[in-house]
Structure 1
Amino acid sequence: MGLLGDELAFAQALTAQEREGVMALGHRKRYPADAHLLTEGDRSSHVLIVLQGWVTVSVATDRGATRLILGLRGPGELLGEMAALDRHPRSATVRALGPTEAQVINGDAFRRFLALHPRVSGLVIRQLTFRLRSADQERSALASLTVLQRLAHRLIELSRPDTSGPYSAPSTSPRTPTAPSAAGSVVQLAQDELAATVGATREAVAKALRLLRTQNIVRTGNRMVEILDPALLSLLADGHQE
């Protein structure tokens, strides 16, 4: 698993009755692009369920202003549950990639709901476990894969239609690629954001993207990378050299 994973989002795993009960605990709130939904170090304990839009989850690094993006979260995802459960300061910052809407639920009310609904409590524990395993895999990738491999993996992952990630619909193409993404898929992230998702510098990612462009594997623009040859990108992700 990587940035998105294959698990159902929290709200999607609830029954209709459970979902209605959880949503009734809170209220809807809209956030503009770049707004902080949650802030690392803050002592608030409410939770959020993303209703519309996509957000990044990031932490500060030893390099000061540099942030490492741990994940992208979208509709149905539960956020802020750790602080709600253990009442410690927030462990990460959640930032809106674009206009975002979320259900805001008081931490005390959420904990009471979990105490009365063991199955939902189990879903929260399962989500925490899944994210912990994903973080372990991310650390392993940082140690064992090149920047080009990590970037290729990330682009494939973010452009897969079945993960409902922040990408635009594939354009019509006569190709039938064997890779999980489709030719024409567009990943809508800036280079510095892509760099943060793979634990590399912006310069290293820019160099890797130049290589991919010269081989006509991707096309880049303002805050976007278009996948032109997903099959070849998949080969590079697996360690095959051009």
Structure 2
Amino acid sequence: MSLFGQDRPFLDALPREDRRALIASGTPRSYAPGEVVVRERDTSTFVLAILAGWSVVSVETERGARLILALRGRGEVIGDLAAVDQHPRSATVTALGALHGVVLPGERFRRFLSARPVATQLIMRQLSSRLRSADGERRSLASETVLQRLSARLVELVERAGRATPEGVVVDLPLPQHDLASAIGATREAVAKALRLLRAQGLVETGPRRLVVTDTGVLRLLAGGHGEAG
């Protein structure tokens, strides 16, 4: 399972000329923190290529709860599935902090792909990666504990959005506890209990919009089911 996309974002993997062409063909657009970029079941087909910032991809469950599927950041594109198959949006994407990018109408994005085989291959690889991640997430929900899933998410956040400091690795993403719960398919209460265990063992430090991981190695072990905090 993974909150993030492939190791190398779509824009970074494009040949330089293709990347320049894609950005030049879009319209600059900025989103405020918490602003919705696309909404689930909407029929728009535009694509946003992210140049700076982070966004949250989520769906609403039948019980009205929010489930976070992924985080998308600089170099990635969102909305590509609806642009390609022209069906309603499969998820809601919300700006996590200030978000900047360029917007391309769906038809323009499809023309870009049809003229550039490398870009098409990258999009297909991206869609395949997301499908595999969804399969892994279902397996995780069925077989892993809340502590395992939370530890795995924290390790992933450290590896993809961490900043080393003398006190530990600071995760510079403003994810509150209810978002962490939504990202692992658990209740906020269950995540709060797991975080208390991790804090008691000195593995993490938390505060308002603040997360510091002090021992990634032990978290990795917990994520793999090779130990229990406390």
Name the counterpart of 2:155. 156
1:231 pairs with 2:221: no
Give 1:105 deviation, angstroms.
Answer: 0.4
Inter-CA distance 120–26: structure 2 relative to 1 (3 Å threshold) = same
Provide, for residues 30-84 of structure 1, a one-character-per-residue CA deviation record: whole Å limited to 9, x for no partner.
10000011111111011011110000000011211x1110000000001101111
Counterpart of 1:206 (choices 192, 209, 221) is: 192
Give 1:5 deviation, angstroms.
Answer: 4.8
Name the counterpart of 1:77. 76
* Consecutive unaligned residues in structure 2, runs of 5 or more: none
Q: How does 1:41-120 map to 2 (within 5 A)?
A: 41-64=41-64, 66-120=65-119
Name the counterpart of 1:36. 36
Q: Say what the alpha-carbon RMSD is for the aligned residues.
A: 1.3
The TM-score with structure 1 as length reference comes to: 0.90
Q: Distance in 1 between matches of 2:124 and 2:219?
A: 35
Inter-CA distance 5–77: structure 2 relative to 1 (3 Å threshold) = closer
Q: Distance in 2 between matches of 1:122 and 1:42?
A: 26
Name the counterpart of 1:184. 169
Which amino acid in structure 2 is aligned with residue 211 of structure 1? Answer: L
8 Å contact kept, 1:159–1:187: no
Higher strand share: 2
Q: Distance in 2 between matches of 1:210 and 1:70?
A: 24
* SS of residue in 2 equivalent to 1:185: strand
Name the counterpart of 1:241. 228
Q: Distance in 2 between matches of 1:142 and 1:197?
A: 11
Percent identity between matched residues is 49
Q: Distance in 2 between matches of 1:106 and 1:139?
A: 33
Inter-CA distance 42–138: structure 2 relative to 1 (3 Å threshold) = same
Inter-CA distance 47–5: structure 2 relative to 1 (3 Å threshold) = closer
* SS of residue in 2 equivalent to 1:98: strand
- Structure 1 segments, 4+ long, off by >6 Å, are none
* SS of residue in 2 equivalent to 1:96: strand
